[in-house]
Amino acid sequence: MKRHILLMILAMPAICGAQESLRPGLEKTYAVWRNALIQKDARTWQMVTARHRRVEVRNRIVSEKRAFPAAVFDLPAPPPGLDGLTFLEAKQNGATAKAAYFGKVDFGVGGEPTNNLLVLSFVKGGRGWLYDKADFVNLTALPDVRKELAAGDLSYLRGVPEAQPSGIVPPAPIVANPATTIAKVYVFCPGREVEVQVNKISRHRFANAKEAEVITGGARLGSNEVQYSIKKLEGGTGMEALTIRVYLMSEVEGKKPLKVFEYQIKEKEPFKPYDTGTFNLDAATAAKLSGK
């Protein structure tokens, strides 16, 4: 027991030293990335953003028929700064790293910010660390955790997946063509997990959800493929109602979306655990939706 405690004590300076050596590079990358957004500097933004994230952001923008990279900078407020936040820890696992902060994270949306958790994610590039994303953890319902973090107790972080670097750099998605028509997949799936793939490029996962996501690449002229799989979640009965739909979004103000695909079951009805369907988009419909 004494030997174990001694080893822990001896290891502590090395751990602290590793964190302190990692921290400056991560914070510099974040500062450059944040400043690029504020200054609307597309070249620098692309240089300091992880490739998979750049492609993901680009795909979403062109799928909504917005201009890239100009739309990258259409933000309601700048990303939060780190000034005034308490640095908690920096961790590296292979080519991935995380930096965690605690304090009044200010997103510039008004009101008085409260003490919460901000975790920044990075991946290693050829010339150093690249920014990936930020996870904001609202601690309003966890007052005891707030007290622990304020006192320097980081036990809570061990149980937060967003705070643990995985060691796996996500692959870059396929670069999507600009959308002809904006499309969304909508899923209502209490007690279930649903995965949807549209045209083998746009992948979506919904778990116990009622939400919609933009389809990467939008809807194509001609035939469009929709693949889906369904499975019960822990705690679910496998008897819940479920809906999967694809909508084509009108760009004409006041016009409702057009439903072009649906798979729906009522409570206690049998369901297909996986299947493939299609919907068609013709040029006349596309033109009508775009207001031409």
More confident residue, 243 or 21: 243
Radius of gyration of the chain (CA): 23
- Rounded CA gap, 282 and 99, in Å? 48
Q: Do 207 and 104 sit in the same domain of this protein?
A: no
Q: Do 112 and 197 sit in the same domain of this protein?
A: no
Determine which helix (DSSP H) or strand (DSSP E) holds 281, and give its type and residue range.
strand 274-281
- Rounded CA gap, 164 and 236, in Å? 28
Q: Give the tens place of pLDDT for each residue, 215-228.
A: 999 999 999 999 99
Q: Which pLDDT does position 11 carry in this prediction?
A: 40
Closest CA to 97 of 81, 117, 80, 120: 120
Q: Do 35 and 140 sit in the same domain of this protein?
A: yes
Q: Give the tens place of pLDDT for each residue, 73-119.
A: 999 888 999 999 999 999 999 999 999 999 999 988 777 889 999 99
- Domain endpoint, select from 106, 131, 163: 163
- Rounded CA gap, 202 and 63, in Å? 10
Q: Do 230 and 197 sit in the same domain of this protein?
A: yes
Q: Do 150 and 12 sit in the same domain of this protein?
A: yes
Asked whether residue 19 carries a pLDDT value surpassing 90, the answer given is: no
Range of the domain at 201: 183-290
Which residue type, as a one-letter code, is found at position 292? K
Instruction: Give the domain CATH number at 44.
Output: 3.10.450
Q: Kind of pairing, strands 242-248 and 258-265? A: antiparallel
Asked whether residue 16 carries a pLDDT value surpassing 70, the answer given is: no
- 87 domain-assigned: yes
Q: Which pLDDT does position 2 carry in this prediction?
A: 40
Q: Give the tens place of pLDDT for each residue, 26-83.
A: 999 999 999 999 999 999 999 999 999 999 999 999 999 999 999 999 998 889 999 9
What mean pLDDT, rounded, does the chain reach? Answer: 92
- 156 domain-assigned: yes
Q: Do 156 and 208 sit in the same domain of this protein?
A: no
Q: Which pLDDT does position 14 carry in this prediction?
A: 43
Share of the chain above pLDDT 90, in %: 87
Asked whether residue 8 carries a pLDDT value surpassing 60, the answer given is: no
113: cis peptide before it, omega within 30°? no
Overall domain count for the chain: 2
Q: Which pLDDT does position 17 carry in this prediction?
A: 56
- 176 domain-assigned: no
Q: Do 31 and 141 sit in the same domain of this protein?
A: yes
Q: Which pLDDT does position 110 carry in this prediction?
A: 72
Q: Which pLDDT does position 18 carry in this prediction?
A: 62
Q: Do 157 and 196 sit in the same domain of this protein?
A: no
Quickly count: other Cβ atoms within 10 Å of residue 253's Cβ.
Answer: 6
- 17 domain-assigned: yes
Q: Which pLDDT does position 109 carry in this prediction?
A: 76
The residues pairing with 86 across neighbouring beta strands, listed in sequence order, are 102
Determine which helix (DSSP H) or strand (DSSP E) holds 148, and give its type and residue range.
helix 143-150
Q: Do 102 and 51 sit in the same domain of this protein?
A: yes
